[in-house]
Amino acid sequence: MPGIRLLSQDEARPAARHQERAHELAERMPGLCVLAREAAASVMHGVHGRRRPGAGENFWQFRPFVAGESAGRIDWRRSAKDERLYVREREWEAAITVFLWIDRSPSMRFASGLSLQPKIDRALVLGLAAGELFVQGGERAGLLGLTPALAIRGIIERFAEVLAAEEKRTRSAPEELPPQISLPRGARAILIGDFLSEPQLILQTIARIGAEGARGHLVMIADPAEEDFPFSGNIEFLDVDSPRRLRAGRAETFREIYVRRLAAHREAILSSARSYGWTLSLHRTDRPASEALLNLKIQLEAEPGVPRR
């Protein structure tokens, strides 16, 4: 049986302990920054920035001339050194703009004894590490609704400071879904959370953010206990967003219907994401953060119009 601590009635109210939790989160931020930097470093192995051919001013490389190309592209000085014709290529310079959103709502505080860390901690590590990964790769990263897109050193610490300040500034619990800010075509949105909201609300959020053609990816964070429902016997479940509670005399009898409804919920979200050309991945908190980060990098680079490194 996983170690689950039942919430008190006060803790079950959405904003009852928000300020206390904001201070707790601020105290944990330095440690989360270290974990984020370690995760980014593990995925960054072999990544050498955005050095690839394309429009730009800086020299990239010489390559052999291909029949059918314009003769005006030939670099005659380089070609004079041997018997082949060469073309001078410039380095691609159009950085991708990525906006990150990290769910910090009450449901993200859940953690069972089967997880490596609470969902909110894992989401923060992934979000901060993703910012570092993108910036080190030559892109620009921002926090949706909180910062502009940045390409600066120390992006992890900058994002951590902004998030901690936002937690302390707000008097109520954070929203379950991101602000519905329309991003320009060519931008990318990375939304990290448990996405337990109604699928229709998630669809509306995706539709708004992608209204002008921006693409995105959802990283769904799940605790192993939420996935497998390993409960049995007399269990009381409390809703962290309201005072509602459910007493189950034989919790194991709920497992089949729970798993079925969870699968239907996720399928509805996946369908919503696909309808706007977005993608979705599931990450369990009993797995290393680097797995989700690597998958996130692969998903971004696999999108049409995003050059591969």
pLDDT band at 4 (very low <50, low <70, confident <90, very high): very low
**238 has pLDDT over 80:** no
CA 226 – CA 183 distance, rounded (Å): 32
Q: Does domain 9-50+95-302 have CATH number 3.30.70?
A: no
Over residues 299-304, the mean pLDDT reads: 70
Between 261 and 63, residue with greater pLDDT: 261
Indicate the SS3 state at residue 194: coil
**216 has pLDDT over 90:** yes
Residue 47 pLDDT: 45
Residue 81 pLDDT: 85
CA 194 – CA 105 distance, rounded (Å): 9
What is the β-pairing status of strands 245-248 and 235-238? Answer: antiparallel
DSSP secondary structure code for residue 181 in this structure: P
**296 has pLDDT over 60:** yes
Q: What is the largest CA-CA distance in the chain?
A: 85
Tokens of 280: 């979705």
**226 has pLDDT over 50:** yes
Residue 94 pLDDT: 56
pLDDT band at 7 (very low <50, low <70, confident <90, very high): very low
Type of residue numbered 112: S
**52 has pLDDT over 70:** no
DSSP 246-299: EEETTGGGGHHHHHHHHHHHHHHHHHHHHHTT-EEEEEETTS-HHHHHHHHHHH
In percent, the amount of the chain with pLDDT more than 70 equals 82
Cα–Cα distance list, 164 to 70, 81, 110, 251, 282 (Å): 55, 59, 19, 37, 26
Q: Where are the domains of the chain?
A: 9-50+95-302, 59-90
pTM: 0.78
pLDDT band at 119 (very low <50, low <70, confident <90, very high): very high
